[in-house]
Amino acid sequence: MKRSGFTMIELVFVIVILGILASVAIPKLAATRDDANIAKASTEISALISDIGSYYTAKGEFDTNVSRMTNVTLYTDLTTDQTLAGTVDFKAGATVSYGDKTRGENCIDIVANDTNGTITLTQDAAGIAASVFCRGLNKSVSKLVTEHTFGGSSIY
**124-146, pLDDT tens digit by residue?**
766 666 678 888 888 887 766 67
Residue positions counted in the chain: 156
pTM: 0.69
Question: CB-based contacts of 93: which residues, under 8 Å, 6+ apart?
Answer: 111, 112, 113, 114
In the predicted model, what is the mean pLDDT of residues 56-71? Answer: 82
Q: What residue ranges do the domains of the chain occupy?
A: 9-149
